[in-house]
Structure 1
Amino acid sequence: MAPRRRRRRPWHRSRAYRLVRTALLAAVLVTVGVRCGGAGGPAASLQAGGPAADPGSARTDGRGVGREDPAPARPTPPPRPLPRSRPTSLRIPSLGIDAPVIGLRLDRNRQLETPPLGRPKEVGWYQGGATPGESGIAIAVGHRDTRTGPAVFAALAQVKPGKPIEAKRADGRTAVYTVDRVKVFDKADFPDKEVYGPVRRPELRVLTCGGLFSRRTGYSSNVVVFAHLTATK
């Protein structure tokens, strides 16, 4: 009987091929390990204080998984000025004030009029100035008290910076101002430029009497609230 001839194994099943394949896989695994955690990768940078170690750029969620910090909030752009429309009411919620508004003009001596003493709960708005939300300075005035008792702005000096002042308009819209500061000025040295000088945004001045009272000369000072437009609705 003739001996059988051995069949040659396919090349992909040969021992040499298996050895070469194993060597190639090992080389690939080593390369991936270097990229993910070797001396030149992010893990090394994190330990060495490189860019990945910046506390403001990455944190962990408690399981070792990195997460990015939320993007910082963008500042809210200022509201657009409103067209002209006469005021109808003024609200200062923190003081419990919600008063109707009447228009005022300058008297013969170029002094701003005040609301009639018989209507102490009303606020006067200078008609020659800006209307609520309009570019420029809007001016509102009111009495602190009268002979019959406290008036609309009895507590005006107590309003705090950051509090809102809302001025409703005849067109149905409302201009919302935010208080910047409150100052008391002596009437003899009243700083007209600081209070009424030109501005680049819609602003509001709310005035009433303050300081010491004399039956002969009245109050010695003025309380002035400075505010700027922060919203419209």
Structure 2
Amino acid sequence: MLRNSNLRGYNVPGVADKIVTTLFADDTTAYLNERDSFEDLQGVLEKWCIASKAKFNVEKTEVIPIGTEEYRAAVIASRKLHPDQNPLPRNVHIAKEGEPVRILGSWIGNKADQAESWNTVVAKINKSLEQWGKSHPTPDGRRLIIIMVVAGMTQYLTKVQGMPIEVEKTLERIISNFMANGNRPLVGMHVLQKHVTDGGKKDKRGTRQPGRVQNFPRT
């Protein structure tokens, strides 16, 4: 219904259809042009709710202004996408500069601190590795745990918004410390990252070696 509505959305070079919405499970992201009306969006969503017997939670609506810094400041100050429109409802939150909004596990925002959005992930990794460490795993076991925990908990967020270099360095320190069981490493990480035939922990199947964060785009 949103894609077939009168909402203008955004036209992106190389994309045939206008971008109006992205849907995943019960999460809906709508893209409004400055000439689009939030009231029109609400009208479409209300019709959809009646037809589907669902309920649109306006209280959880988050607005991220898109455009020049001057335009974003005007939207935040006036609560209007365009001067000729009515203000957005007071129960709709507008994200300020530097304030990230969680969308499908990623953190999006204007001038948001990307490193800060990684704090929760790093904390979960530390907690999980601490629990695994209590089982006194072997060096090979530690390698597999690192692949499962560190790679498993970082790949999605790194893919969708990149990994800041400071976070990458933090993870490398965490990995090095876990491999050495909190002690001074007896074998350098540069050696562990080599192939097994060269004394490292990388096997012939190409399994990721410890201490190497996957090379996704940085921020």
TM over 0.5: no
In terms of Rg, which structure is larger? 1
TM-score normalised by the shorter chain: which range applies?
under 0.3
Which of the two has greater strand per residue? 1
TM-score using structure 2 length:
0.19
TM-score using structure 1 length:
0.18
Which of the two has greater helix per residue? 2
More RCO (CA 8 Å, sep 6+): 1
